[in-house]
Amino acid sequence: MEDNGDGHKMQVNNLTMYYGDFKALDDVSLDFASRHITALIGPSGCGKSTLVRCLNRMNDLIDGSKVEGEISLDGENILGPGYDVISLRRRVGMVFQRPNPFPKSIYENVAYGPRLVGIKNKEKLDSIVEDSLKRAALWDEVKKILDRSGQSLSGGQQQRLCIARVIAVQPEVILFDEPCSAIDPISTQKIEDLMAELKKNFTMVIVTHNMQQAARVSDYTAFMLVEEQGQPGRIVEFGDTNTMFTNPSDKRTENYITGRFG
């Protein structure tokens, strides 16, 4: 990895994004620090999920989507012509709101990605599966039932399985899009603990509606807002999380996080 832990793993410069004629993001610039957690907060429809989906070009899959500006990963523009999207998605993994394990065994869920990149050696796969499940804090709960369906696990376990699945392909960045909104509070805490642990190796971005979750887990927080209906989402304020939650400088941030709107 080229980053040294202090630099910016990903940088978004003047990003504008359209779904057809609708401008969803306007002139967004934001840097994601290496091996830190950046949270994106803001009311529904402010473009935070759209922004996070730009980071591994998930929006490419939507007809009529169009982006302007630049997003760089280790200094290389991922929006550039001919950029290898498949390798991008391997380097920038994603955990979704609803845990979505494949209808396969726990083992196969984790081994799937490594197999896809050509790892066939059984011992090698075993060790990747074990290591990934351990890092996802799930190993102890599933080590005896690896052949059981991933979908038989509880919601919180399924989400950690999805995290293990992402880790297994050794990404550099992990995007979390509302990872805890569909799971119980204890599982939520486990995932938050897990994120703190994963920070040693990965750069992470989390979209969350739960402001306290942003306050608890992130190092940096960006607050996004749609000023008026029909307008695009913009970044209102970005700063270190402590400052954002104790003394934000923009009144709109303060109003939002304290629950005073308009």
Least spacing, CB of residue 261 vs other proteins, in Å: 5
Task: Read off the tokens for 218.
Answer: 């992130």
By beta-carbon proximity to other proteins, the closer residue of 151 and 255 is 255
* Contacts made by residues 77-82, CB under 8 angstroms, sequence distance 24+: none
Q: How far is the CB of 224 from other proteins (least distance, A)?
A: 17
Establish if 215 lies at the interface with other proteins (CB under 8 A).
Answer: yes
When asked if residue 171 is in the footprint of other proteins (CB under 8 A), the reply is: no
Going by the DSSP 8-state scheme, the letter that residue 149 receives in this structure is B
Which one, 4 or 246, has the nearer CB to other proteins? Answer: 246
Identify the residue whose tokens are 């270190």: 240
Q: Which stretch binds other proteins (CB under 8 A): 100-108, 124-132, 167-175, 242-250?
A: 242-250
258 binds other proteins (CB under 8 A): yes
Q: Which stretch binds other proteins (CB under 8 A): 70-78, 89-97, 158-166, 251-259?
A: 251-259
The whole-angstrom distance between residue 227's C-alpha and the CA centroid of its chain comes to 25
Residue 110 backbone class (left: φ over 0; alpha: ψ -120 to 50; beta: rest): alpha
Q: Cβ–Cβ contacts within 10 Å for residue 69, how many? A: 17
Token representation of residue 256: 């939002």
Q: How many residues does the chain have?
A: 262
- Interaction of residue 257 with other proteins, rule CB under 8 A: yes
Query: Which has the closest alpha carbon to 17: 32, 3, 28?
Result: 28
Between residues 38 and 241, which has the closer beta carbon with respect to other proteins? Answer: 241
245 part of the interface to other proteins, by CB under 8 A? yes
Distance CA(172)–CA(147), nearest Å, equals 28
Does the footprint of other proteins cover residue 228 (CB under 8 A)? Answer: no
Q: Does 262 sit near other proteins (CB under 8 A)?
A: yes
- Which amino acid would we find at residue 231? Q
Q: Does 212 bind other proteins (CB under 8 A)?
A: yes
Contact between 169 and other proteins by CB under 8 A: the answer reads: no
Neighbours of 1 (CB within 10 A): 11
Say whether residue 259 binds other proteins (CB under 8 A): yes
Residue 45 φ/ψ region, left for φ over 0, alpha for ψ in the -120 to 50 degree band, beta for the rest = left
Residue 223 sits in the site that holds other proteins (CB under 8 A): no
Q: Would you count residue 68 as binding other proteins (CB under 8 A)?
A: no
Under rule CB under 8 A, how many of the chain's residues touch other proteins?
15
Nearest CA-CA partner of 13 in 59, 58, 80: 80
Q: Interacting stretch for other proteins, rule CB under 8 A, among 55-63, 144-152, 174-182, 243-251?
A: 243-251
Instruction: Catalog residues that contact other proteins under the rule CB under 8 A.
Output: 211-212, 215, 245-248, 253-254, 257-262
